[in-house]
């Protein structure tokens, strides 16, 4: 107690030691631009809002060069659709298509379909493509994309989050569209074969 002021003396404030900047390029073993290097050394805290935003933005990353040709197998996609439709068809039919309640049911059905399609090899492929995408962004100047890529990595490290990650959802949606288009084309071709009687098991005329 300070006799003059009657107040407790303040404890001396410890000086916080500033850590030297890390050489991320050397640590990670690939090229990093000065802008990204400086941003990484700022150590800005990641908020919940950042994570939500990254999950939404990751939907657009499916159109980036590293991911634009990635699809689930067409036959397996159709099989997942058929299997899941049997479970959710009645519930989906209760609501107008694309209404809020319909979307909630469809989101649940889609998670089920993605779960059926995810394989260890597919996950490995996504991780390999993510690494290529991340390295490319680290060579640039858009730290926002680097931040999104790092946050997406957190989603990909948790298996259950794959079902709601925008990147995986976008890959599924285009796989579904492509598989259904392929199926319709096959059905049209089969109909033409039937119309021309080409579907019959016909013996050669010389036999």
Instruction: Specify the pTM.
Output: 0.80
60-82 mean pLDDT: 96
Alpha helices in 12-65 (DSSP H): 24-28, 34-42, 48-61
Q: 142-184 pLDDT, tens per residue?
A: 998 999 999 999 889 999 999 999 999 999 999 999 999 998 8
How far apart CA 94 and CA 92 sit, in angstroms, is 5
């Amino acid at each position: 107690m300070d006799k003059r002021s009657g107040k407790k003396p303040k404890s001396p404030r410890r000086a916080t030691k500033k850590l030297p900047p890390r050489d991320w390029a050397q640590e990670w073993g690939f090229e990093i631009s000065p802008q990204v290097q400086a941003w990484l050394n700022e150590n800005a805290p990641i908020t919940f809002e950042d994570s939500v935003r990254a999950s939404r933005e990751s939907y657009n990353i499916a159109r980036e060069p590293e991911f634009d040709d990635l699809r689930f197998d067409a036959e397996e996609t159709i099989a997942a659709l058929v299997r899941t439709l049997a479970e959710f068809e009645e519930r989906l039919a209760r609501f107008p298509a694309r209404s809020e309640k319909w979307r909630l049911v469809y989101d649940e059905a889609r998670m089920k379909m993605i779960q059926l399609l995810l394989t260890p090899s597919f996950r490995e492929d996504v991780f390999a493509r993510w690494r290529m995408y991340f390295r490319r962004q680290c060579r640039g100047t858009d730290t926002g994309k680097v931040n999104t890529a790092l946050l997406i990595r957190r989603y990909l490290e948790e298996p259950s989050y794959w079902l709601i990650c925008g990147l995986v959802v976008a890959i599924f949606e285009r796989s579904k569209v492509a598989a259904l288009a392929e199926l319709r084309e096959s059905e049209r071709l089969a109909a033409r074969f039937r119309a021309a009687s080409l579907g019959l098991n016909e013996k050669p005329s010389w036999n």
